């Protein structure tokens, strides 16, 4: 019985290959990374003592670097257990909970026809490749050379040339015995009831073969050589083999790069064929492209099958920003825990091909390092007009953000996005430089009950009155400060009086200094935890600038980056004074884990503790601001029962904030480790 490729792919997608192989091997704990679907074991096909058998869930493949065996679910069962192919399919279908298909004569016939069409497409590909090397293809070869492509790259992507003649390909295939119906079914000719004689679809064009996920040629893209051509790029029409919205250019080749020796775990989506090819030639082999149109939902799902957070790359001009915003709207409804996208925006007027052709891969690597999160893209888009000087405009912005976040299908992701947007909104609108604001609340003109703001409180400050205060507080001002707010100010006062912090008020917060300086002194820590560390959001503007320069250096040098190289880079960029102040700050606080003298293992462990505390503190502060808003609303509405409940929760959060911030005035929370890290003079 024949099985359709669709059925076989479906059952393999439903059953991780590690589940099949894991019943016959014991995974190596040190080399295996189960969270990424990356497994290692001693090979079951030959005797060995060290694990060289590798299995990847994302690819659905295994390979032994010792004996060379490789394959998928079915081949594993066939070669290790001696199952026939139908028996192996039956077992995987049972594990997937999918019923075996009944024999379908018509489906089998279509499969045979599809295979025949793929043979025709392969013949067409070879024809185009051959034509590129003839006198007819001279202009096309010159164009590709001018674009910087090497002969090896041209061969890798099987680029070709379609002659100007209206019937060159049609006659070639006909001479090979290919019937007219198959040539038409492949979309290689233009035909129809109104066309007396069919003719080649692609003429005088550089040809880009488009491969399926199984690496079979299913379509073509053609780039016109003549400037007068009605379409610069032309794709195959929809056929039995090809559905444009379900295919990504270079998908199969990019998939093979995941989990390789370079540690790549993401896919980059760029805009065109030439971008993909130029990046590949520069050493960036994990790029794909939609086929001349905006990214579709199906294409985005393809990306998410391979990686949790693909990077979508767009030109930095107006058209590129608009395309990026369309991708934002496309992705939002489909977000799930652990599934998002990032956005890399290129310098205005540049595309990936331009960047790598002029300066190699380093400029593009820097663009990737600076990729923005989806939430940042949402926020930037909604505030770009920048005019929110009236309550009505601020209310409109708040409503718009709620509407945008509301399309997210997953409840938990939607809740966290809402919290992130509210936090950004409060921070954005509470600045003292903004007209109509000062400190944490409105100044004057606050009309209505209790001087409230109609349900929106920039900066997270409370409205007048506590739970027992009803709607008092008068117009145009605030009542007495609540106990929680007095407690908050108390924390700040105690920190200001701390002998450790005293005298260094111009420096960044100490916890942020520790995070930044540890990386400067121990760059290996950055590469050990790159995905998490690279996206740290510093409050200090000086550290934001320093961190941007650190990431640029990391992108340029990669894991080869040493402390000496990084310090030299930072000093050349004008950060010598800041580095000296940071070093003095952490030494004064006796935080030796952040200094150059710390043992690398201790620096890594100390950094992890510092980062965990930093993230926990920020999360608590976000939660506190939300509770303060809820308390203000409950007070405004006169709901004393709800206000009391919210106040209890607020006090619990505040106690936790104080507990963290009062651990030796922030210092002991970073945990100078178990005595292994000692400063000068320590015993």
Specify whether 134 is located in the same domain as 272.
no
Q: Judge whether 372 lies within some domain.
A: yes
Instruction: Look at residue 83 and tell me whether its pLDDT is greater than 70.
Output: yes
Specify whether 542 is located in the same domain as 647.
yes
Triad 92, 96, 100: Cα angle to 5°: 70
Specify whether 13 is located in the same domain as 58.
yes
Residues 164-172: contacts with CB under 8 Å, at least 24 apart = 164/136, 164/203, 164/204, 165/200, 165/203, 166/199, 166/200, 166/203, 167/199, 167/200, 168/131, 168/200, 168/203, 169/124, 169/127, 169/128, 169/200, 169/202, 170/198, 170/199, 170/200, 172/127
Specify whether 14 is located in the same domain as 131.
no
Q: Judge whether 416 lies within some domain.
A: no
Two tokens, residue 300: 């985005």
Q: Judge whether 428 lies within some domain.
A: no
- Which residues form the domain of 575? 510-670
Specify whether 524 is located in the same domain as 658.
yes
Specify whether 133 is located in the same domain as 276.
no
Contact between 653 and 484 (Cβ < 8 Å): no
Q: Encode pLDDT of 281-292 as tens digits.
A: 999 999 999 987
Specify whether 232 is located in the same domain as 257.
no
Q: Encode pLDDT of 228-279 as tens digits.
A: 888 899 999 999 889 888 899 999 899 888 765 555 678 999 988 999 999 9
Contact between 374 and 342 (Cβ < 8 Å): yes
Specify whether 516 is located in the same domain as 638.
yes
CATH classification at residue 278: 3.40.1360.10
Cα separation of 332 and 339, whole Å? 10
Specify whether 320 is located in the same domain as 350.
yes
- How many domains does the chain divide into? 4
N- to C-terminal Cα separation, the chain: 77
Helix (H, G, I), strand (E, B) or coil at 576: helix
pLDDT of residue 432: 40
Q: Judge whether 445 lies within some domain.
A: no
Q: Judge whether 51 lies within some domain.
A: yes
Specify whether 274 is located in the same domain as 213.
no
- pTM over cut 0.85: no
Buried/exposed code over 343-353 (b: 16+ C-beta within 10 A; e: otherwise): bbbbeeebbbb
Contact between 662 and 494 (Cβ < 8 Å): yes
Cα separation of 662 and 673, whole Å? 18
Of the ranges 188-192, 292-296, 359-363, 389-393, the best mean pLDDT one? 188-192
Which DSSP helix (H) or strand (E) runs through 529? none
Cα separation of 503 and 581, whole Å? 12
Q: Judge whether 542 lies within some domain.
A: yes
Which of 323, 352, 380 marks a domain boundary?
380
**Residue 598 or residue 62, greater confidence:** 62
Which of 354, 380, 406 marks a domain boundary?
380
**Residue 129 or residue 546, greater confidence:** 129
Specify whether 517 is located in the same domain as 650.
yes
Instruction: Using pLDDT thresholds of 50, 70 and 90, give the confidence band for residue 603.
Output: confident
Specify whether 235 is located in the same domain as 264.
no
Q: Judge whether 437 lies within some domain.
A: no
């Amino acid at each position: 019985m024949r099985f359709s490729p669709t059925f076989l792919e479906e059952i393999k997608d439903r059953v991780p290959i590690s589940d099949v192989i894991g019943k016959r091997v014991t995974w190596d704990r040190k080399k295996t990374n189960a969270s990424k679907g990356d497994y290692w074991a001693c090979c079951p096909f030959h005797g060995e003592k060290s694990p060289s058998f590798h299995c990847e869930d994302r690819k659905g493949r295994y390979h032994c670097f010792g004996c060379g065996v490789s394959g998928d679910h079915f081949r594993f069962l066939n070669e290790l257990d001696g199952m026939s192919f139908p028996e192996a399919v039956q077992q995987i279908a049972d594990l997937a909970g999918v019923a075996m298909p009944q024999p379908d004569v018509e489906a089998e016939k279509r499969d045979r026809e599809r295979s025949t069409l793929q043979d025709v497409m392969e013949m067409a590909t070879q024809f185009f490749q051959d034509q590129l090397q003839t006198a007819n293809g001279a202009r096309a070869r010159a164009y590709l050379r001018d674009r910087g492509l090497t002969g090896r790259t041209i061969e890798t992507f099987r680029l070709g040339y379609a002659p100007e003649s209206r019937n060159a390909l049609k006659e070639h295939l006909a001479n090979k015995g290919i019937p007219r119906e198959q040539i038409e079914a492949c979309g290689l000719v233009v035909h129809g009831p109104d066309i007396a004689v069919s003719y080649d679809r692609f003429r005088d064009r550089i040809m880009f073969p488009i491969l399926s996920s199984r690496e079979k040629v299913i379509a073509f893209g053609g780039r016109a050589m003549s400037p007068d051509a009605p379409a610069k790029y032309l794709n195959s029409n929809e056929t039995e083999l090809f559905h444009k919205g379900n295919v990504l250019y270079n998908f199969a080749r990019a998939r093979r790069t995941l989990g390789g020796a370079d540690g790549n775990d993401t896919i980059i989506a760029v805009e065109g064929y030439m971008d993909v090819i130029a990046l590949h030639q520069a050493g960036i082999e994990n790029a794909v492209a939609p086929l001349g149109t905006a990214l579709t939902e199906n294409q985005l799902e393809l990306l998410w099958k391979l990686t949790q957070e693909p990077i979508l790359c767009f030109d930095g001009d107006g058209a590129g920003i608009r395309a990026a915003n369309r991708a934002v709207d496309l992705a939002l409804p489909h977000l799930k825990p652990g599934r998002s996208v990032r956005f890399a925006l290129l310098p205005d007027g540049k595309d990936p091909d331009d960047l790598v052709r002029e300066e190699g891969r380093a400029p593009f690597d820097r663009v990737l390092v600076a990729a923005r999160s989806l939430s940042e893209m949402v926020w930037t888009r909604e505030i770009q007009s920048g005019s929110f000087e009236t309550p009505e405009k601020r209310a409109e912005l708040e409503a718009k953000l709620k509407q945008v976040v509301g399309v997210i299908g997953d409840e938990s992701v939607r809740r966290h996005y809402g919290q992130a947007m509210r936090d950004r909104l409060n921070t954005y609108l509470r600045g003292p430089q903004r007209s109509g604001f000062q400190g944490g609340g409105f100044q004057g003109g606050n009309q209505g009950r209790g001087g409230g703001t109609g349900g929106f409180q920039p900066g997270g400050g409370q409205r007048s009155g506590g739970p027992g205060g009803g709607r008092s507080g008068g117009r145009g001002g605030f009542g007495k400060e609540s106990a929680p707010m007095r407690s908050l100010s108390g924390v700040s006062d105690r920190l200001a009086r701390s002998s450790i912090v005293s005298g260094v008020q111009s420096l960044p917060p100490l916890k942020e200094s520790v995070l930044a300086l540890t990386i400067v002194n121990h760059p290996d820590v950055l590469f050990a935890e790159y995905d998490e560390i690279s996206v740290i959001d510093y409050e200090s503007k000086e550290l934001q600038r320093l961190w941007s320069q650190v990431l640029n250096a990391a992108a340029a040098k990669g894991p080869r980056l040493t402390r000496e190289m990084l310090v030299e880079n930072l000093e050349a960029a004008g950060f010598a004074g800041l580095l000296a102040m940071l070093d003095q700050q952490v030494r004064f606080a006796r935080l030796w884990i952040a200094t150059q003298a710390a043992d690398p293992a201790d620096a890594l462990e100390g950094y992890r503790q510092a980062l965990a505390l930093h993230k926990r503190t920020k999360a608590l502060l976000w939660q506190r601001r939300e509770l303060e808003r809820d308390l203000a609303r409950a007070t405004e509405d006169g709901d004393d029962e709800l206000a009391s409940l919210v106040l209890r929760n607020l006090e619990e959060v505040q106690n936790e904030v104080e507990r963290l911030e009062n651990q030796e005035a922030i210092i002991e929370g970073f945990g100078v480790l178990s005595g292994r890290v000692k400063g000068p003079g320590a015993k």
